[in-house]
Amino acid sequence: MALKTREQYYASLREMKTEVYLFGEKVDNYLDHPIIRPSTNSVAMTYYLAEKEEYADIMTATSHLTGNKINRFTHIHQNTDDLRNKVKMLRLLGQKTASCFQRCVGMDAFNAVYSTTFEIDEKYGTEYFARFKKYLVYVQDHDLVVDGAMTDPKGNRKLPPHQQEDPDLFLRVVERREDGIVVRGAKAHQTGIINSHEVLVMPTIAMGEEDKDWAVSFALPVDTKGIFIIYGRQSCDTRKLEENAEIDLGNPTFGGHEGLVIFEDVFVPNERIFLNGETEFAGMLVERFAGFHRQSYGGCKVGVGDVLIGATALAAEHNGVASVSHIKDKLIEMTHLNETLYACGIACSAEGAVTKAGSYQINLLLANICKLNVTRFPYEITRMAEDIAGGLMVTMPSEKDLRDEKLGPYVRKYLRGNAAYSTTDRLRILRLIENMTLGTAAVGYRTESLHGAGSPQAQKIVIARQGNLNHKIALAKEIAGIKDSTE
């Protein structure tokens, strides 16, 4: 079975024994928990769209390892068309969920680990590449969701792993056995971890020789003994616990989530280890993963932005100002910014190049340009959305007031805008904008745009390294007639 249905995906999660904690309590049936379920629905959309013939070209691919039809989220990019189709797929899913659909991180981790393990084997004669290919076939054949786990808590950011007061602040190997290793530590900000079948761990920074125990990459089922998850809070998340809540949720069906994943002396068998002490390759793995994930933001954030722009245009209609010139100008600017992000995602894909392993990697410079723009443009899009929506977005009464026998008529009377539209629909669209800019969806759009895949300084470091400033100086010297000589 190379492709799961949405229903099979839900069923597969029910078979797992993933250990989840929320608000200080263990959640046994996390799949049906009202706070968690919307995030699971978002991942399920990656399966549902793959079933649709009209989306087959971008949602599925042919495995270069088995020749089978697979979900693109489990694919290793074979050419620049694959890289572009990835961006198009992510935009489509953003449009369909208006949220984070959580499966990108695993896909980006696959492609980074694939090419990196090839080069480790090339230098050291290890077996990581063969192991990883075998693992990948397993993932493809069962159409699994894999959480790519890179971010460590890091402790004192100025210190490398081996100098930390608490060595567990970077995930590390605490014991090496003949049949595998034992690891301890945590991974933070883990998008979609609860909705994943497997977790693929990677180091989070470049490392020196003294950091050998922290230079580790491996994969395990999420419900492996010793792994447990502390669910992350989101703004307005407890609205999902309110009885009969729908309008107040803004986006009642879909959502995202993050988790703090604890690894408490977890055993990893040899066949699931893909990096074990080869410190000089930690930086390569981090840079390649970061590049792929920064490319991703040129798709997913754009799709969510499409929904936000549409919601803002609807709010303008409800407010009766859709034809006002400055409103139209702002909607045009929102579109301009959003399409610029998409253009960057497509550009870094089109300029991709083959790796030693035969897979394709994005243009690192353009991928980092893409993500640096993502740290800014969604904030400006959000600002204009809030401007056009108006203050009622954050001051309107609750859904219970709207439905109340006494209060409802007053709410409908006094909060009506354009008479062509109902008050209820006006409140619905304002709640959607609130959700996307301030509420639970803001985790996957607004704040994650800044910190996801690395904060702005991380992109600037790569841009400085990839920007080839000396070449640009040489160009200027040649045009200006400046010789490389001292008078």
Active site residues: 100, 104, 191, 258, 293, 297, 300, 448
Residues 6+ apart with CB under 8 A from 448: 100
d(C-alpha 479, C-alpha 474), whole Å: 9
Q: β-strand 60-62 against 69-71: which pairing, if any?
A: antiparallel
Q: How far apart are CA 466 and CA 287, in angstroms?
A: 12
Most distant pair of Cα atoms in the chain: their distance: 90
**Nearest-5° Cα angle at 297, 293 to 299:** 120
| Distance separating alpha carbons of residues 25 and 28, to the nearest angstrom | 9
Q: Give yes or no for a contact between 385 and 334, defined as CB atoms under 8 angstroms apart.
A: yes
In 51-61, which positions are buried (b, 16+ CB within 10 angstroms) versus exposed (e)? eeeebeebbbb
Question: How many CB atoms are located within 10 Å of the residue 87 CB?
Answer: 28
C-alpha pair distances (Å), 133 with each of 64, 104, 200:
10, 19, 13
Q: Is 191 annotated as a binding residue?
A: yes
Tell me, what amino acid is at 161?
P
At 355, is the secondary structure helix, strand, or coil?
coil
Q: What are the binding residues for FAD?
A: 191
* Annotation: binding site: 191
